[in-house]
Structure 1
Amino acid sequence: MGEAPDARRNDESLHRDFNTVWGHHMVTDSTGQWTSLLSEHWGPTARALRRIQTGLSDSVVCEVEFAEKRYCLKGTPDTYSSTRLRWIHGLRRHACELGLDWIPDPVRTKRGDTCAQGAGMIWELSPWMSGAPLTDVSQGQCRNAMRALAQLHTAWRIPQRGPAEVVRERLEFARQCVSLTREVAWERLAAENSHYSWAQDVREVVAQSSLRMEMVIQQLVEWCDREVPLQPVLRDIWADHMLFEGDDVRGILDFHAVRVGTVTSDIGRLLASWRLPDGVQWAKALEWYGEIRPLESDEVAFVYMLDDAARVLTPWVWLRWILLEKRQFASMEKMNNRVAWSFQRFLRDK
């Protein structure tokens, strides 16, 4: 599978939601630029082509139809490392070779590469994955998703152990958040942004954060040097990035955040993004995952610890991005929903 290149540059701005496209407005291509790019690098002439409005990212996603098949053409700003993208493509191809047909296998260009550059973007072409994302999952869907995730992690498994970098990253951010709670006039900022549905909850989030942040810091410090199995993981797997038809998993999307880390972050992130059916607790979901890839006792504890940290820290990611840095997103509605969801998780008991 090869060694992972440096995955830390531009992660936050580049890996979010690039394939969260189902149900969004489609804009018919009128310039022919995407058709020309396809012809130059992949050869086939597109019979129909539409650009799709994505959720939060600045990537370009197009649906391509040719030879009676559908494909996804995706462009990512060329500040993203092409070396890293090829490494990720190698991981995807390896999974496909092992029979994981719900992983999109990149189509090689005429030169035999899996990506091409043009118009300030890095482009890739992959089969269009059928199915739809869900927020409310059934028992069968949850079971099959956990098993699919475990199959992918098994395909990418490597003999490596060490401290998980995600712990140090979250610890650093938590300490920054402690300062932010004291130094920023959050009530004023919330009042200035009252058009957001979640603005009314900013005061309560900030008020609860001081004590909860210290508890998170204590937990993270305890885990900083603890060694766990390490391997390539998705890091941005959540409800919108897993597609279902009935109970079956039909696709996993968005691989641009992949780097070496702990499988526990993928497990917790996916479970936290769903509303699970009655009678299904996280312990049961971990049991289903473990039927394919057994978890060590430390890994099970790590799933819960990382989720405890994420529950407290995620609202602060959004507060910093939106109220302090004034970031803009392709879909303000999707952004608003994501923030509201993170606030709800923070303010309710687990």
Structure 2
Amino acid sequence: MGFRDPNELPEEVRSVLSKWRETSSGCEVVSPRTQGFSGATIYRIATAAGMFCLRKWPEGGLPQARLRELHRFLRFLADRDINELAVPVPAADGPTLVRLNGRLWQLEPWKPGEADFKQNPSGARLRNAMHALARLHVTAAEYEPTAQGAKWFFQSAAAPSPAVESRLKMIQEWDSNRIRVAQADLDRLHEAGAVADEMLRVFVLCAPKIEAELSSVRESMFCLQPCLRDVWHDHVLFTGDEVTGLIDASAARSENVASDLSRLLGSLLEDDHPRWELALDAYSTVRPLSDRERGLVRLLDRSGVLLSPLHWVEACRSPHTQRNAGVMSHVIGRMTELNARLRSLAESIGGI
């Protein structure tokens, strides 16, 4: 492997890479920087010590205290043989976060594997994904946060699900006035606007039913613990049938495990209900689920099907998306995928 002289790298990247021993000598940016909808900028870095991910957090992103606790949590899991997560590497002077030009940076190993479950689905892969997630949850339930970090990473034997409350709030925020404003913006976007407009019309039909379902468990008590909260198809990396990466833990905080299960299974299996049951059974061999938790998995999936498209409607309206044809193409693709499940939800409750 040949390494580019660090002097050839962009000044900002060169400067921050010098903070880690692993990247302070020879290294190469082997893929163009990418920017996710979280706003984080990602560089894939090749070094003599292996492949790394250099992450630049967005201005106004997660609080530094939450990131520090997240890094501590990831180290806790890795020290207990949960090896699928990327643990940030300490800089030469100790911290895992480096501040440069007012922005926070971190370096973490680039996890091997491909997010290709849909291209190569199998019972073995599904079972291994469920076992990996269950092992993570069992271990995460033992995590003891710092006093400051307990705001985000805590344990509770009986508390309402934060996801239920946040989804009820989101439904209420998307009132008729907000939808009218969004539809007016979408009128000029042709293909993207047509897909987004259909999503909004189906949302209006389905929202009352899903709101009632969420309200029925608003006061129900569940076991809460640190969870990933954004574990989905594209964040689960496979090498053969084995799970070798669970990437991007930035959304992690405390919730019931049903949140992770609904997010992951909805993205892997969509509406294949028999395989949902097989997957939950596989998970339960490692971390048993109560009947109420199984019910919450289904409810969070249904409400996620309703609400996830709204994120992409907003992405479609953003100036960044509209200026970038590649980003817009990705947004349209995601909206098209989500719209199929949204229509199935509407049909299941008699909305269309």
Q: SS at the partner of 2:95?
A: coil
- Out of 134-143 and 84-93, give the one that drifted further: 134-143
Q: Tell me which residue corresponds to 1:100.
A: 82
User: For the structure 1 residues 42 and 179, does the alpha-carbon distance in structure 2 shift closer, same or farther, using more than 3 Å as the test?
Assistant: farther
Q: Tell me which residue corresponds to 2:71.
A: 89
2:202 to 198, 208, 211: 208
Q: Tell me which residue corresponds to 2:260.
A: 266
User: For the structure 1 residues 260 and 140, does the alpha-carbon distance in structure 2 shift closer, same or farther, using more than 3 Å as the test?
Assistant: same
**Is structure 2 residue 183 aligned with structure 1 residue 193?**
no
Q: Tell me which residue corresponds to 1:73.
A: 54
**Is structure 2 residue 54 aligned with structure 1 residue 58?**
no
Letter in 2 for 1:47: C
CA contact 1:77–1:120 (8 Å) conserved in 2: no
2:342 to 326, 329, 346: 346
User: For the structure 1 residues 110 and 204, does the alpha-carbon distance in structure 2 shift closer, same or farther, using more than 3 Å as the test?
Assistant: closer
- Where does structure 1 differ by over 6 angstroms across 4 or more consecutive aligned residues? 276-279
Q: Tell me which residue corresponds to 1:10.
A: none
Letter in 2 for 1:115: L
CA contact 2:55–2:105 (8 Å) conserved in 1: yes
1:311-334: CA deviation from partner (whole Å, max 9, x where unpaired): 1122233324434x6563873332
For 1:252 and 1:182, locate their aligned partners in 2 and report how far apart those are by CA, in whole Å.
Answer: 35
Q: CA deviation at 1:101?
A: 1.6
CA contact 2:270–2:341 (8 Å) conserved in 1: no
For 1:297 and 1:42, locate their aligned partners in 2 and report how far apart those are by CA, in whole Å.
Answer: 49
Instruction: Using the aligned pairs only, state the percent identity.
Output: 27
Q: CA deviation at 1:68?
A: 4.0
2:305 to 290, 305, 311: 311
User: For the structure 1 residues 31 and 179, does the alpha-carbon distance in structure 2 shift closer, same or farther, using more than 3 Å as the test?
Assistant: same
Q: CA deviation at 1:271?
A: 1.1
Q: SS at the partner of 1:40?
A: coil
**Is structure 2 residue 123 aligned with structure 1 residue 139?**
yes
Structure 1 runs not aligned, ≥5 long: 1-27
Letter in 2 for 1:33: E
Q: Tell me which residue corresponds to 1:122.
A: 104
For 1:240 and 1:224, locate their aligned partners in 2 and report how far apart those are by CA, in whole Å.
Answer: 30
User: For the structure 1 residues 192 and 98, does the alpha-carbon distance in structure 2 shift closer, same or farther, using more than 3 Å as the test?
Assistant: same
* CA RMSD, 1 decimal: 2.6
Q: CA deviation at 1:280?
A: 5.2
User: For the structure 1 residues 181 and 215, does the alpha-carbon distance in structure 2 shift closer, same or farther, using more than 3 Å as the test?
Assistant: farther
Residues paired across the two proteins, number: 319
Q: Tell me which residue corresponds to 1:334.
A: 330
CA contact 1:35–1:49 (8 Å) conserved in 2: no
Structure 2 runs not aligned, ≥5 long: 1-6, 143-154
For 1:295 and 1:279, locate their aligned partners in 2 and report how far apart those are by CA, in whole Å.
Answer: 17
User: For the structure 1 residues 125 and 312, does the alpha-carbon distance in structure 2 shift closer, same or farther, using more than 3 Å as the test?
Assistant: same
1:35-85: CA deviation from partner (whole Å, max 9, x where unpaired): 331213446313322443244342221222223412111111242311111
Letter in 2 for 1:108: P
User: For the structure 1 residues 321 and 54, does the alpha-carbon distance in structure 2 shift closer, same or farther, using more than 3 Å as the test?
Assistant: closer
Q: Tell me which residue corresponds to 2:149.
A: none
User: For the structure 1 residues 163 and 277, does the alpha-carbon distance in structure 2 shift closer, same or farther, using more than 3 Å as the test?
Assistant: closer
CA contact 1:133–1:240 (8 Å) conserved in 2: yes
**Is structure 2 residue 27 aligned with structure 1 residue 47?**
yes
Instruction: Judging by fraction of residues, say which structure has more helix.
Output: 2
Letter in 2 for 1:53: T
TM-score, normalised with respect to structure 1: 0.83
TM-score, normalised with respect to structure 2: 0.82
Q: CA deviation at 1:340?
A: 1.6
